Structure 1
């Protein structure tokens, strides 16, 4: 994966959408990108578990967890599964846990916070639809670019600045 620097991408592609700066890096890969796949769920990570068990093919899993700060929607076991199945990263509009282990994994992970409590598993939520948070609507098939400077959304894959 080429090195990405989101300020350079913004300079080259001013039309990209920049998400509100509410996310922090938790993964072992601080800069990541790929096509978006989405999940919308609230305090139930059943669909996250299902998704990371499938081939990721370099995609970024975007999870609209409603911005909840009451439980974690991704931890070490699911993140390890995502690495094993070829996901480039996870953008979590919610919390993660096992942050020391996440920081060691070859996976990009950005979230709005961390929480030690696991989520429930009720099998609720939706996959592959549009989600809206952080001032933007994200749609499967768009491309996400993330690093310590921020998170960007493009309608298609960008030729990255060198």
Structure 2
């Protein structure tokens, strides 16, 4: 399966399903807010590790962006400083970014919505970044307790964000498919009136106590 097809399948499954199917690992355990609610995105990480409160590396990473990438923008200590606004987001969309994860702040929110590029952010704040520190491009970063390496698949939706290591995509996809099949069967049973309280033996356990 191509990387693009794998990304599309993981995006459709969603963060919660991929996280559970993958053994409850890979969660970016922070509050990321989607600028475009309802968007579901996955793609290989294209990373900008910025200098503190600086976004020069975001300008540089645009030269490395490839269609389908998810831009991951972060800094040593996440703070509500705007790493991304309308003009940089315009470059990202023109370069074919599938989405942007900002472990800092964004601004120009109305314009970002109008642009239609899916963006997830920790904060909305207009405080501007400097452009004095080059930072680093495509290096591993840790966000919310999970390390993301260049090329790992980042999955984003209304539930938040997670990352799947590049070498675990195939096994994760197998687990996701199995989970979706199992959940479809359970959904049919619940729609028919069966209760998980009984199906999982919880009632019987409680009645013995």
Per the shorter chain, which TM-score range?
0.7 to 0.9
Runs of 5+ in structure 2 lacking a partner?
Answer: 1-7, 181-209
Partner of 2:19, secondary structure, is: helix
Alpha carbons 1:29, 1:108 under 8 Å: kept: no
Task: Identify the residue that residue 163 of structure 2 maps to in structure 1.
Answer: 153
The alpha carbon displacement at 1:28 in A equals: 7.1
Is residue 94 of structure 1 aligned with residue 104 of structure 2?
Answer: yes
The alpha carbon displacement at 1:44 in A equals: 1.3
CA distance in 2, matches of 1:55, 1:21: 25
Greater C-alpha Rg: 2
CA distance in 2, matches of 1:131, 1:55: 17
Task: Identify the residue that residue 116 of structure 1 maps to in structure 2.
Answer: 126
The alpha carbon displacement at 1:54 in A equals: 4.3
Partner of 1:81, secondary structure, is: helix
Q: 1:153 to 1:79 in 2, by over 3 A?
A: same
Q: Give the number of the structure with larger relative contact order, counting CA–CA contacts within 8 Å between residues 6 or more apart.
A: 1
Give the structure with the higher percent helix.
2
Match of 2:18 among 1, 4, 9: 9
Q: 1:44 to 1:29 in 2, by over 3 A?
A: farther
CA distance in 1, matches of 2:113, 2:13: 19
Alpha carbons 1:28, 1:103 under 8 Å: kept: no
Partner of 1:21, secondary structure, is: coil
Partner of 2:91, secondary structure, is: helix
Alpha carbons 1:29, 1:106 under 8 Å: kept: no
Alpha carbons 2:105, 2:123 under 8 Å: kept: yes
TM-score, length-scaled by structure 2: 0.69
CA distance in 1, matches of 2:115, 2:54: 23
Alpha carbons 2:48, 2:58 under 8 Å: kept: yes
Give the structure with the higher percent strand.
1
Alpha carbons 2:54, 2:133 under 8 Å: kept: yes
The alpha carbon displacement at 1:11 in A equals: 3.7
Is residue 68 of structure 1 aligned with residue 79 of structure 2?
Answer: yes
TM-score, length-scaled by structure 1: 0.87
CA distance in 2, matches of 1:83, 1:130: 23
Runs of 5+ in structure 1 lacking a partner?
Answer: none
Across the two proteins, how many residue pairs are aligned to each other?
Answer: 161
